[in-house]
Chain A
């Protein structure tokens, strides 16, 4: 039996909504098949008021063993570092976060806000938001870069806006069934099993990417969304086209550019006007090139690819 406590900070509840839609395994499976005991969750918790406060205190003291502490949303420090803008169970949420993180065997950050600060931490960041162990790309965050939970792991980051439900439940199962030691984390403490490949991996538009055929409008079935519509699939680490959303599709498959929401800089360019859904260029060359590709190589590749482009690449090959 693994005890889980799930709290929300500066959050929209999107990751909770996502989690409740999990399928493989489902949120119910966690309890019935994998021996998890959800002590409390914002949408599922039964305790209220004093009883909840006592439960939290018991987790901090060790009277209740806290195996996994899950945090969704940013850590709100405003105003002036007090955290008073986000109070929970009688005190600033950030105080609970600190103490529960110290008490838990494992700490898991779910979604961009908990991992890197996300949209709340976008400049000018009025809520003084931080992620648990990162603020955007800067290592440290609320808990500090040297933080390790009792089991000896740093915060396990499962980013996304929201995170895919099955990323969440599968990692929780891995931890709860004693296989946390098998988790390899990348430099941003994301499980490599999900975040080593790119969003582009498995994208149905890869042929159009290869032959440099651009989609020019949303929802077009032909063409790659990278060249004009700001898709970040080639430089974003996620399995969105390997583990499909609702088991059927993904943003790029549906004609919607990837926003890069599993990367620390999300939302990119601080949402400046003209930067969303538009590939940013410098002298006509994309500012952000596919991971590992340099400008000269990109230009040469493009020339060769367009020269080799077969006629079918310019047409919609997905016949209804």
Chain B
């Protein structure tokens, strides 16, 4: 299993083309990285869960920060996007549970976040502050 993000250089090309279905090799690479990201979050990586990106200005500010990152800087992607392993729930909106599985950027079958600034393998129950439905 890959233990460090530095070991993940080979995954630079894991971003698949829109035109092609995911291959078994890509699925395997996704899973490898997904496990690594999960390890980071389970081991207590402090991410910027709040403030949530509830306004266009907040979204733009976070996106701008993400755009300044190296494509393989996964750790900081997790931090800036405010990832958690469980859905985020607001007090003032009891109908909305912010989980990747309902997010517009989430590819259900690939279990992958397709927001261009993230492009990360994630999971149904994960969440981040760029969630949008």
Contact = CB atoms under 8 A, between A and B. Distances in A.
Contacts of A274: 56-57, 60
B133 interface: yes
| Chain A binding surface SS class | loop
Contacts of A279: 132
A182 interface: no
Nearest to B96: A299
B133 A280 contact: no
Given A283-B90, A306-B101, A314-B108, A228 B96 contact: no
A299 B133 contact: yes
A217 B101 CA distance: 20
B69 interface: no
The residue in A213, A222, A281, A286 that gathers the most chain B C-beta atoms within 10 A of its C-beta is A281
B48 to A, nearest CB: 16
Nearest to B101: A306
A315 B20 contact: yes
A125 to B, nearest CB: 24
Interface string A270-285: 0000110011111111
A221 B108 CA distance: 18
Interface in B68-118: 90, 93, 95-96, 98, 101-102, 104-110, 114-116
B132 A284 contact: yes
B21 interface: yes
Contact of B56 (A217, A275, A306, A307): A275
A212 interface: yes
B104 A227 contact: yes
A279 to B, nearest CB: 7
B52 interface: yes
| Chain B binding surface SS class | loop
Interface string A211-247: 0111011001110000110000000000000000000
Interface string A107-137: 0000000000000000000000000000000
A216 B105 contact: yes
Nearest to A299: B95
Interface string A169-210: 000000000000000000000000000000000000000000
B18 A220 contact: yes
A53 interface: no
A55 interface: no
A212 B95 CA distance: 18
A275 to B, nearest CB: 7
A316 interface: yes
B114 A214 contact: yes
Nearest to B119: A216
Contacts of A280: 56
A303 B97 CA distance: 10
Nearest to B112: A314
Interface string A291-320: 000011011001100110101001110000
Contacts of A286: 132-133
Contact of A296 (B95, B98, B115): B95
A303 B18 CA distance: 23
A281 B96 CA distance: 14
B109 A314 contact: yes
B19 interface: yes
B19 A316 contact: yes
18 contacts: A216-B115, A217-B116, A221-B18, A222-B18, A227-B104, A228-B104, A274-B56, A274-B57, A283-B52, A283-B96, A286-B132, A302-B102, A302-B133, A303-B101, A311-B109, A314-B107, A314-B110, A315-B20
Interface of A: 212-214, 216-217, 220-222, 227-228, 274-275, 278-286, 295-296, 298-299, 302-303, 306-307, 309, 311, 314-316
